[in-house]
Amino acid sequence: MRSLAVIATLFLLLLQSGCGLLPETKDETIGWSATKLYSEAKEAMTNGSYDKAVKLFEKLESRYPYGRYAQQAQIEAAYAYWKASEPASAIAACDRFIKLHPNHPNIDYVYYLKGLVNFNEDLGLLGAISQQDMTERDPKGARESFDAFRELVTRFPDSKYTPDAILRMKYLVNALATLEVHVARYYMKRTAYLAAVNRAQYALKNYPDAPATEEALFIMIKAYDEMGVNDLRDDAERIMRKNYPNSIYYTRGIDRKTPWWKLW
């Protein structure tokens, strides 16, 4: 046992002495001015070296927290995080900046960037690239993106970022409504009619101008009919006929004795 203890002690001493022999990594940025750090970080972003840019912006903010470059470095770092495939860090940086500098001249850009990060992060939900079942997707990112764009549009209607934000909001509304209707259709196929009605109603209430509301009404009519709730079924049909008099769903048997929704 004593021999083992001696060997272990010698081994630890060798490790410590070995570590002392390793060359220390020198930080080349030591002594750099705020201007130098900022210009090097910007150059790194121009060259697509976003990881390097992030580190430089972080050093700039920590070394010169009250300098004229500090706030701009926070904004630039948020963008660099996003381009470096770190969306969570980018969103956190945007939230932090909004909290600390709510009246900053470029706060509209920060809201736009936050919306953009969430928008692109959620392309798996919104685009046709992903093969994942839509019923398994989480629309949280899309909703947060919409909220950020809405804040921008509401507070800064004259911002140069507002027109693009409005277009993206319209896309998000249509995508979210389509998701809700898709889930309602999923419940219909499994005869979960009440759940289908609830999802269709959610789409109608929250996204009334989205194209998917036509099918949402149709699903409600069908679900109420299956549940034998005739009054609500007839109310939904009146609303649908008023808003969609030329709906494609009517062509599925509107001139027959069997109600057109029975043929779905």
Instruction: Write the DSSP assignment of 117-163 as a string of letters.
Output: HHHHHTHHHHSSS--S-GGG--THHHHHHHHHHHHHHHH-TT-TTHH
Predicted TM-score (pTM) of the model is: 0.75
| Domain limits for position 85 | 32-98
Q: What is the rounded average pLDDT of the residues 234-245?
A: 94
Q: Is residue 63 in some structural domain? A: yes
Q: Is residue 172 in some structural domain? A: no
pLDDT band at 249 (very low <50, low <70, confident <90, very high): confident
Candidates 144, 136, 132; CA nearest to 172 is: 144
Report the distance separating Cα 233 and Cα 262, nearest Å.
Answer: 12
What pLDDT does 136 receive? Answer: 52
What's the number of domains the chain is made of? 1
Q: Is residue 234 in some structural domain? A: no
Among the ranges given (133-137, 160-164, 211-215), the one the predictor scored with the smallest mean pLDDT: 133-137
pLDDT band at 258 (very low <50, low <70, confident <90, very high): low
Q: Is residue 6 in some structural domain? A: no
Q: Is residue 80 in some structural domain? A: yes
Query: How many other CB atoms sit within 10 Å of the CB of residue 182?
Result: 17
CATH number for the domain spanning 47: value is 1.25.40.10
Q: What is the rounded average pLDDT of the residues 198-222?
A: 93
Q: Is residue 125 in some structural domain? A: no
pLDDT band at 161 (very low <50, low <70, confident <90, very high): very high
What pLDDT does 134 receive? Answer: 46
Q: Is residue 220 in some structural domain? A: no
Q: Is residue 179 in some structural domain? A: no
Higher pLDDT, 264 or 214: 214
Report the distance separating Cα 249 and Cα 185, nearest Å.
Answer: 14
